[in-house]
Copies of this chain bind each other. A is one copy, B any other.
Amino acid sequence: MRGKPIKRIGVLTGGGDCPGLNAVIRAVVKTANYEYGMEVIGFEDGFGGLINNQARKLAAADVSGILPRGGTILGTSNRDNPFKYAVVRDGQKVWADVSDRAFANAREHGIEALVVIGGDGSLSIAKEFYDKGFPTVGIPKTIDNDLSATDVTFGFDTALTTATEALDKLHTTAESHHRVMVLEVMGRYAGWIALESGIAGGADIILIPEIPFSLERVCEKINSRKAEGKKFNIVVVAEGAKPAGGEMVVRKVIADSPDPLRLGGIGNQVGNELEKLTGMETRVTVLGHLQRGGSPTAFDRILATRYGAAAVKLVAEGEFGQMVCLRTPNIEAVPLARAVKELRRVSPDSDLVMAARAVGTSFGD
């Protein structure tokens, strides 16, 4: 616990866009203003704004009305690292440590503590700030929901909702045309969006990084459905899904594809193969950036608001080097050091996976 109350804090958003960032910013500013009488300075475009001193004061009026809006009014970036910043010296681009410049800028604004909203990358920088003596508090942000230190992250429920709505839409076309419809969703290392949207959208097949799939088993599922009289199939594929025999197997088959323009991510690869192997008309949709945008769901707005309020409380209590997290039903804090260490991945034995299998979903394994 600090002796003197803190009068002014900084806040920034780093990493990829995520629904709920504005709700966090609003909660940080309102809690700071109303609850603790602190002023807030917002840095623009992630750590870039701290390095280049692009900042503005954020009062309660500045965050009025932003709760339901996607994106971040501060801008964000996943490129600027104060400890490894691209500068041009002697006509050459080199990496430099410009953290002293960042600290100096912070001091110039009278910032006594910094709230960093971001993913792995940004929180690692936050940890370095703290290790170097700068009072810092973190708020986790990952749309993939793959952080072991918290039950859920904000933005995930919105992305899940977008993916589920897409599956609802693809269902009608799949049924009407007797097609295989493939939807590729986000999830490079963890298959949460694919798994949960697949359950919510009634997918027949779900392919995730944690459960390597075999195209043969996927085809078996499609054929067994055909035998039951089901003439269509919905397949959800996480972008990081991988075939059991290793990536190369698919790549090799793909190399023979007559239509190289349809290549691309795993979604298109799986779609191409299934069309060839099953003879069924197959269509692929890549959801892409639609998952990062839009008005956050009620769930995400609430979680984001709780995170923002709790982070400022940590600052007020002098609990630095911590990150807020959800331990249902409470908001708690964990050291930044531990926070960014471990990935939360789907366990193939979890009852979530078991429930999906129980209602007939195949994971292609």
Inter-chain contact B169/A358, CB cutoff 8 Å: no
When A162-B169, A306-B351 are in contact, do A301 and B199 touch as well, CB less than 8 Å? yes
Q: Is A330 an interface residue (CB 8 A)?
A: yes
Interface size on A, residues (CB 8 A): 95
**Is A76 in contact with B352, judged by CB distance below 8 angstroms?**
no
B351:A161 contact, CB within 8 angstroms: no
Q: Contact partner of A70 among B160, B169, B178, B355, CB < 8 A? A: B169
In the complex, identify which listed stretch (A97-105, A212-220, A258-266) lies at the interface while the others stay far away. A258-266
Instruction: Say yes or no: B157 contacts A294, CB within 8 Å.
Output: no
Kindly provide the distance from the CB of A121 to the nearest chain B CB, expressed in whole angstroms: 15
Determine how close the nearest CB of chain B comes to the CB of A82; give it in whole angstroms: 19
Known contacts A71-B175, A299-B157, A329-B350; A168/B294 CB under 8 A: yes
CB-based contact A293/B169 at 8 Å: yes
Complex CA distance for A160 and B300, rounded to whole angstroms = 12
Name the B residues within 8 Å of A285 (CB-CB).
286, 288-290
- From the candidates B68, B70, B161, B286, name the one contacting A298 in the complex (CB within 8 A): B161
Q: Is A345 at the interface (CB under 8 A from chain B)? A: no
In the assembled complex, A17 has its CB within 8 A of some CB on chain B:
yes
> Main SS of the interface on chain A?
helix
Chain B residues contacting A178 (CB-CB under 8 Å) are 45, 75
- A70 CA / B70 CA spacing, docked (Å): 16
Q: How many whole Å from A178's CB to the nearest CB in chain B?
A: 7
Smallest beta-carbon distance A301→chain B, Å: 4
Q: A352 to B309, alpha carbons, bound, how many Å?
A: 10
Instruction: Assess the A358–B298 pair: CB atoms within 8 A.
Output: no
Mark interface residues in A329-365 (1 if CB within 8 Å of B CB, else 0). 1110000000000000000001110111111100000
Instruction: Please tell me if the beta carbons of B170 and A293 are within 8 angstroms of each other in the complex.
Output: yes
Stretch at the interface among A24-32, A50-58, A132-140: A24-32
Give A46 Cβ to nearest chain B Cβ, in Å: 10
B30 and A360 contacting across the interface, CB-CB below 8 Å: yes
CA distance A162 to B294 in the complex (A): 13
Chain B residues near A76 (CB-CB < 8 A):
176-177
Which B-chain residue is minimally distant from A197 (CB atoms)?
B298
Query: Which residues does chain B contribute within 8 Å of A306, judged by CB atoms?
Result: 351-352, 355
Give the docked Cα–Cα distance between A67 and B356 (Å): 13
Contact indicator A283/B294 (Cβ below 8 Å): no
> When the two chains form their complex, are residues B34 and A358 in contact, meaning their CB atoms are under 8 A apart?
yes
With known contacts A75-B176, A351-B330, A355-B27, A289–B283 Cβ distance under 8 A: yes
A292 touches B71 (CB 8 A): no
Q: Which single residue of chain B is at the shortest CB-CB distance from A198?
A: B302
15 A-B pairs with CB atoms under 8 Å apart are A19-B172, A31-B358, A34-B360, A72-B176, A75-B176, A151-B329, A157-B299, A166-B290, A169-B292, A170-B290, A199-B302, A201-B298, A285-B288, A309-B351, A309-B359
